[in-house]
Structure 1
Amino acid sequence: MKKIAMIPARLAASRFPAKLMQDLAGKPVILRTYEATVQTNLFDEVFVVTDSAQIYDLIVEAGGKAIMSKETHECGSDRIAEAVEHMDVDIIVNVQGDEPFTEKESLASVLQVFDEDPNQEIDLASLMVKITDWDEINNPNTVKVIVDKNNVALYFSRSLIPYPRAKDVHSTYYKHKGIYAFRKRALMDFKRWPMLPLEATEKIEAIRYLEYGKKLKMVETTVSGIEIDTPEDLERAIKAWK
């Protein structure tokens, strides 16, 4: 199977504009993420796909591979789908551009899902990490996921799921980490499907796959990493890098 990584990189960001171009220990965040992904040695190719000439030029000048989007896109999956439509690939991994601490273990675990699926029953795979802090569990910026006994996703939400009505039952809470691995056909299906009400309400693109009946396998990881969504996250990342 040919496996590639795609890093969608939009310059605009509502909570932290131009966050991908912020300096992290001497290099922009998006370049740190690109280099970390390449250094895993898991992929035949790694690309940054972007709507920004600034980001495109940065990656190319650093010796990397970048693709300019031709269309305007609502989400990373749509941006990647446009870029890979005419590529001869089997598995595409979406690495978030704001995760400069991307590491090999997590990426290898989502790729392994397809190596262990000879009948091609799984359409895509993603990561989840156990969370116990109630502030994080109740935070709408933290996307939670619930799964069945085989770790296939049942639903994603910004709300508290599962709701702890029964106080004598211990529930485990999982945060969704936005790394996806797709079979190409699932990604192309996503691009042609219109957004439905659940995805539009929650603003979580993974829900579209569930609404249309795709099978999304979740893999538990203990690596939480640092996603740079705010200036405070960037400060944490700088301290962690040092």
Structure 2
Amino acid sequence: MRVVGLIPARLESSRLPEKALVDICGLPMIVHTYKRALLAQTLDDVFVATDSGRIRSVVEQHGGKVIMTSRDHKTGSDRLAEACKEIDCEIVVNIQGDEPLVNPDHIDAIVEPLLLDTSVQIAVGVTQYSKKNSPSDIKAVLDLNNDIMYCSRTDLPSDARTAVEKMLKMSFIVPFRKDFLIQYASWSPTPLEQIEYNEYLRVLEHGVKIRGVHVDDAKISVDTPDDLEEVRILMRSDSIYNLYIK
């Protein structure tokens, strides 16, 4: 099966304007994400999907491939559904552009269930997490088959009766079967999706299972200026960074 990584990116960001292009140790954030995705063994190719000419120019200046998309998409998955129609592949991997510390090994691990089991339509990474009351992070609970039962911006599972020291946070490397991605993007937003501002609830509300894949030490995404400063510090000692900066 041909597997392609797609990185959705846009300039607009309410908490950190133009974050896709912010400098991190000498490279724009989107370029870090692109170059790290190229290191994944399961990906046959990688593209940035964007509606921004500025992002396209920066990525291409660093040797990257870009697919231009409409400005009207409300979610990254919708943007990828348009972009993947131009690509010959069976599996499309959504890799968030605001994760410049993404680990290529995590991409490989999360893609693997779709390569091994044709019944799996979509998977997502989950990693242990202990920060409480953080609505910017989406937490998940899994069934005994490691499929996601529910995911929310509130803390899961509830600690109202029992102390919960470790939760699972979703790590947004999300491989889809191409045909399912296109179908999913054609569905209207669902009630829980709109309440939670979480596009993956649309999948669960339609009764489709999402396979959760445990990954260790998934790094933070860049949503705020504080996140950006933390990532800049982490990048200086990051071993993967040294593989592509030379």
Length-normalised TM-score, structure 2: 0.92
Tell me which residue corresponds to 2:114.
114
1:88 CA displacement: 2.2
- Whether the aligned pair in 2 keeps the contact of 1:129 and 1:220 (CA below 8 Å) is yes
Structure 1 residue ranges without an equivalent (≥5): none
1:183 corresponds to which residue? Answer: 177
Q: Tell me the alpha carbon deviations over residues 45-86 of structure 1, each in whole angstroms, 9 at most, x when there is no partner.
A: 100000110001111122110011135100000000001124
Structure-2 residue corresponding to 1:150? 145
Q: How does 1:37-116 map to 2 (within 5 A)?
A: 37-116=37-116
The answer on whether the counterparts of 2:125 and 2:172 sit within 8 Å (CA) in structure 1 is: yes
**What does residue 124 of structure 1 align with?**
122
Asked if the contact 1:96–1:178 (Cα under 8 Å) also holds between the matched residues in 2, the reply is yes
Q: Judge conservation of contact 1:137–1:173 (CA < 8 Å) in 2.
A: no
Corresponding residue for 1:210? 204
Q: Percent identity?
A: 35
* Structure-2 residue corresponding to 1:137: 132
Report the alpha carbon displacement of residue 228 of structure 1 after superposing the two structures with TM.
0.8
Q: Partner amino acid for 2:126?
A: M
* CA–CA separation in structure 1 for the residues paired with 2:169 and 2:132: 8
Equivalence for 2:241: none
Normalised by the size of structure 1, how large is the TM-score? 0.93
How far did residue 235 of structure 1 move? 0.8
Q: Structure 2: how far apart are the matches of 1:4 and 1:156?
A: 26
Contact persistence 2:137–2:169 (CA under 8 A): yes
In structure 2, C-alpha distance between the alignment counterparts of 1:115 and 1:156, rounded to whole Å: 24
Gaps of 5+ in 2: 237-246
The separation in 1 between residues aligned to 2:19 and 2:71, in whole angstroms, is 22
Give the 3-state SS of the residue equivalent to 2:157 in structure 1.
Answer: coil
**Does 2:161 correspond to 1:163?**
no
Instruction: Give the superposition deviation at 1:226.
Output: 2.5
2:215 is aligned to 221
